[in-house]
Amino acid sequence: MGRIVGGFGMSHVLFPPQGVEPQAGRVIDGMMEIRRRIAALKPDVIVLAGSDHLNNFSLAAQVTLAVGVADSFTTMGDGTPAATFPGHRAFAEAFARFAEPNGFDLVQMEEVKPDHGMSLPKLVVDPTDTVPVVPVYINSLMPVPPSPRRCYRLGTVLKQMVEQQRPAGERVVVVGTGGLSHWLCLPEQGRVAVEFDEDFIARMIAGRSAELAEYSADHIFRESGNGGLEVVSWLFMAGALPGAKGEKLFYEPIPQWISGMGGVALMPEAA
């Protein structure tokens, strides 16, 4: 059987450091620590979960949950240089098939161009394109976003699939991207909900992610903004490592970047 050997949550944007150089430096250092830790885990597959920013999915067809099933993906080039990285078709298709009898109809995307929400984290975690990546889209920008509980549950389904169907010895790392608190195109834009962010991180690294999964999407929206809803991707990651404890790698509230910037690591026992 395969194993999920580590999980990480991280914000998926960077802005110019002018005026916030110390905070920006700590964010970069934290992202580089995520890179080092993932490399040390020697994954065979990286499952990268996050939202699309209405670039591949539109309000005309409001897809909330999808998986990229291509052999390779070329990024959109919005915020990072356009690049091509390897996918893992067999893993992605196996996940979609396994998810269906477990209550999830994942849309399989053969042609998708990851935007900055995927491309920046991908550049952080594997800049040399040596590890196949399976993009899992959890589109929190849709008018009816997937619930935190459902996203957490999808993570548990991923864990079951890896342990029951993947080859013996396969090592999988799950990365949830986005967040933390931020409001986009709303009167609150520029606000950072520090208390919410710090509590969210504290519960997650204490092994209490299941409590966070009981939040409603409306609660997260009220407390951390429409952009803060992206933390459902972190909950997907945590669901794949139920009960796992971890460590805060960075947190910086940066109003100039209109966001709470954070990163965590969760580790199963004896990874």
Predicted local confidence at residue 79, as pLDDT: 80
Predicted TM-score (pTM) of the model is 0.95
Who's near 166: CB < 8 A, 6+ residues apart? 1, 2, 91, 94, 172
Q: And the tokens for 209?
A: 């992610």
Q: What is the pLDDT along the chain (271 residues), one digit of tens a residue?
A: 899 999 999 999 999 999 999 999 999 999 999 999 999 999 999 999 999 888 888 888 888 999 999 999 999 988 888 999 999 999 999 999 999 999 999 999 998 999 988 999 999 999 999 999 999 999 988 888 999 999 999 999 999 999 999 999 999 999 999 999 988 777 888 789 999 999 999 999 999 999 999 999 999 999 998 888 999 999 999 999 999 999 999 999 999 999 999 999 999 975 5
Count of domains for the chain: 1
Instruction: Provide the 3-class DSSP secondary structure of residue 105.
Output: coil
Predicted local confidence at residue 270, as pLDDT: 58
Please answer whether residues 47 and 155 qualify as being in contact, where contact means their C-beta atoms are separated by less than 8 angstroms: no
Cβ neighbourhood burial of 128 (10 Å; 0-12, 13-18, 19+): exposed
With vertex at residue 10, the alpha carbon angle to CA 7 and CA 11, rounded to the nearest 5 degrees, is 160
**CATH code, 49:** 3.40.830.10
Nearest-CA neighbor of 138 among 152, 120, 127, 126?
Answer: 152
Please answer whether residues 183 and 226 qualify as being in contact, where contact means their C-beta atoms are separated by less than 8 angstroms: yes
Task: Report how far residue 24's alpha carbon sits from residue 26's, in angstroms, rounded to the nearest whole number.
Answer: 5
- Quote the domain boundaries for residue 158: 3-267
